């Protein structure tokens, strides 16, 4: 029989790419802890869940990998993949969830926030697995919550959705996906003709990004000195409002991400109550692009890893614009960047600036590490009604990542489920308070539903919100 040491033998290893390294640096400070949290109406069978998770790790080597560093040096991280799964499944009670003076709106969000702020990767010199799983006994009898915590360098939002769907299939007794190898980093998969940029153009873009960041305004800070943590507020629209909003977006040729960005900027400007409604402020927006379809070879949703890039745009808002006018500007800006392939050519530039902000927080407003007002995903996740969720007793689920290190004031993780727009809005506390973000999100909701119902003129787009 093979010894335990032989069973844990590393069968694959590769160094981090540039994007993975930037997330390795970011997670140390509190940004990039990805959590999937599920609320179930029945107790969880720990052996069945453990078996499903191990089968998931068997199919996806990156999910059973450990983050290691060469001779303990945090500047040389890599993925080391043992030959067999090495998952440690924890079991806790609701009493183990940390309580705070301003608790979230539901027990599931309390578990989610608790998990977002547990950071086993806070010491970059230590070897740690990329996946952790915990089962919580809920306060109500015969209920439970399951939380998966993953390092974002190994799992972007698309991969997290695939993990959730495959895990539910495995828990229901269905077969998992075909085993895959250890996927390469995004930089190695970008076609050479799409990655090349002249030296002077790269310098000009870096200077432009830096100057735009310096002149960008922020959501007002409430406590810049307190110890930070990630908290979550949900933005949910009913089925009718969601349908009207999506229909309006389609008729105007807009993506939902542009409309969400516009609503956040209009709401932020309004929250400052300027006496002169024509006072301009400039806000930065980060649009996250899933690059799997642009790579060579093309990857699919179930290919685990981090394959998103970021497009950064700035917009000047004076408070008199309507939602659709600002949304069109957002759409045009990031579409032009996409047409110029900046989602591929600028990956290194954005990673460099992210690491510069981590190393020099004084370069950001009030040393807040805020690099944008809002981050959004180009495409929303759509969950179709599923009988499987009912069979497994899944009542609710939320997925998002922490953002209290380097990042935006509000990171939006949007989904369409059962016809409803459901967004997890992550923010750094106490830099922003729960009351402040709840008011901002509620105003965004009013803007979205008000315009989706009454609308501006499609020809002029000039009516105020």
For residue 338, the SS3 value is helix
Residues 86 and 221 in one domain: no
Q: Could you check whether the bond before residue 249 is cis, i.e. omega within 30 degrees of 0?
A: no
∠ CA 204-331-219, rounded to 5°: 75
CA distances from 465 to 207, 217, 248, 261, 462 (A): 35, 21, 15, 15, 9
What integer pLDDT is reported at residue 96 of this predicted model? Answer: 76
What integer pLDDT is reported at residue 321 of this predicted model? Answer: 87
Residues 114 and 46 in one domain: yes
Q: Residue 460 class from Cβ within 10 Å (0-12 exposed, 13-18 middle, 19+ buried)?
A: exposed
Q: Flag whether 37 is in a domain.
A: yes
pLDDT tens-digit profile, the chain (465 residues): 333 343 456 678 899 999 999 999 999 999 999 999 999 998 888 999 999 999 999 999 999 999 998 776 677 899 999 988 878 888 887 777 767 767 777 889 999 999 999 999 998 878 899 999 999 987 677 789 999 999 999 999 999 999 999 999 998 887 666 788 889 999 999 999 888 776 666 676 767 777 777 788 999 999 999 999 999 999 999 999 999 999 999 999 999 999 999 999 999 999 998 876 668 899 999 999 999 999 999 999 999 999 999 999 999 998 788 999 999 999 999 999 999 999 999 999 999 999 999 999 999 999 999 999 999 999 999 987 778 888 889 999 999 999 999 999 999 999 999 999 999 999 999 999 999 999 999 999 999 998 533 344 444 343 333
Provide the total of helices (H) and of strands (E) in the chain, helices listed first.
15, 16
Report which DSSP code applies to 55.
Answer: H
Given 171, 204, 222, the domain boundary residue is: 171
Residues 253 and 336 in one domain: yes
How far apart (Å, rounded) are the C-alpha atoms in residues 244 and 263? 16
Residues 278 and 376 in one domain: yes
Q: Residue 239 class from Cβ within 10 Å (0-12 exposed, 13-18 middle, 19+ buried)?
A: exposed
How far apart (Å, rounded) are the C-alpha atoms in residues 263 and 43? 40
Q: Flag whether 181 is in a domain.
A: no
CA distances from 7 to 54, 66, 81, 83, 127 (A): 14, 15, 12, 6, 18
Q: Flag whether 180 is in a domain.
A: no
Q: Flag whether 461 is in a domain.
A: no
Beta strand ranges found along 237-377 (DSSP E): 281-290, 308-317, 370-377
Q: Flag whether 458 is in a domain.
A: no
Residues 88 and 207 in one domain: no
Q: Flag whether 6 is in a domain.
A: no
Domain of 217 in residue numbering reads as: 191-453
Per the structure, the count of domains in the chain is 2
Residues 400 and 288 in one domain: yes
Residues 146 and 288 in one domain: no
What integer pLDDT is reported at residue 26 of this predicted model? Answer: 96
Residues 195 and 155 in one domain: no
Q: Flag whether 179 is in a domain.
A: no
Residues 221 and 161 in one domain: no
CA distances from 260 to 271, 440, 444 (A): 16, 12, 8
Q: Flag whether 377 is in a domain.
A: yes
Residues 416 and 353 in one domain: yes
pTM exceeds cut of 0.85: yes
Residues 225 and 311 in one domain: yes
Residues 160 and 207 in one domain: no
Task: Spell out a b/e string for 403-442, using b for 16 or more CB atoms within 10 Å of the CB, else e.
Answer: bbbbbbbbbbbbbbbeebbbbbbbbbbbbbbbebbbebbe
Q: Treating both helix axes as pointing N-terminal to C-terminal, what angle do 347-359 and 18-29 enclose, rounded to 10 degrees?
A: 30
**CATH value at residue 212:** 3.30.559.30
**CATH value at residue 15:** 3.30.559.10
What integer pLDDT is reported at residue 290 of this predicted model? Answer: 98
């Amino acid at each position: 029989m093979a010894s335990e040491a032989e069973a844990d033998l590393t069968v694959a290893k590769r160094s981090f790419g540039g994007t993975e390294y930037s997330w390795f640096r970011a997670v140390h400070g509190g940004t990039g802890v990805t959590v999937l949290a599920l609320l179930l109406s029945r107790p969880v069978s720990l052996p069945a869940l453990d078996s499903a998770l191990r089968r998931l790790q068997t199919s996806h080597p990156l999910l059973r990998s450990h983050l290691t560093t060469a001779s303990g040096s945090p500047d040389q991280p890599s993925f080391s993949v043992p030959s067999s799964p090495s998952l440690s499944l924890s079991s806790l009670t609701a009493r183990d969830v940390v309580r705070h003076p301003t608790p979230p709106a539901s027990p599931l969000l309390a578990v989610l926030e608790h998990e977002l702020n547990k950071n086993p990767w806070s010491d970059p010199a230590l070897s740690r697995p990329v996946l952790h799983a915990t089962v919580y006994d809920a306060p109500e009898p015969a209920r439970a919550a399951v939380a998966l915590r993953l390092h974002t360098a190994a799992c972007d939002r698309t991969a997290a959705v695939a993990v959730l769907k495959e895990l539910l299939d495995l828990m229901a007794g269905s077969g998992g996906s075909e085993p895959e190898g250890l996927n390469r980093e995004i930089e190695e998969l970008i076609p050479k003709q799409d990655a090349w940029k002249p030296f002077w153009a790269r310098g000009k873009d870096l200077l432009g990004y830096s100057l735009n960041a310096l002149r960008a305004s922020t959501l007002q800070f409430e406590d810049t000195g307190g110890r930070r943590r990630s908290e979550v507020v949900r933005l949910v629209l009913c089925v009718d409002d969601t349908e009207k909003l999506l229909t309006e977006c389609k008729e105007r040729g807009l993506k939902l991400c542009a409309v969400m960005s516009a609503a956040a900027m209009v709401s932020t400007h309004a929250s400052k109550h300027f006496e002169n409604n024509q006072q301009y402020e400039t806000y930065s927006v980060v649009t996250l692009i899933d690059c799997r379809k642009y790579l060579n070879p093309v990857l699919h949703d179930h290919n685990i890893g981090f394959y998103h890039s970021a497009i950064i745009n700035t917009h000047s808002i004076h408070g008199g614009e309507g939602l659709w006018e600002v949304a069109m500007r957002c759409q045009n800006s990031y579409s032009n960047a996409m047409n110029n392939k900046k989602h591929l050519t600028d990956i290194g530039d954005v990673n460099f600036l992210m690491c510069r902000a981590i190393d020099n927080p004084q370069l950001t407003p009030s040393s807040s590490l805020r690099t944008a007002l809002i981050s959004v995903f180009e495409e929303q996740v759509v969950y179709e009604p599923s009988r499987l969720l009912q069979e497994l007793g899944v009542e609710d689920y939320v997925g998002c990542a922490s953002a209290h290190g380097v990042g935006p004031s509000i990171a939006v993780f949007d989904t369409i489920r059962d016809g409803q727009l459901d967004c997890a809005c992550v923010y750094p506390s106490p830099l922003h308070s729960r009351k402040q973000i709840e008011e901002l999100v509620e105003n965004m909701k009013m803007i979205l539903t008000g315009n989706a119902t009454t609308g501006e003129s499609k020809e002029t787009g000039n009516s105020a919100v």
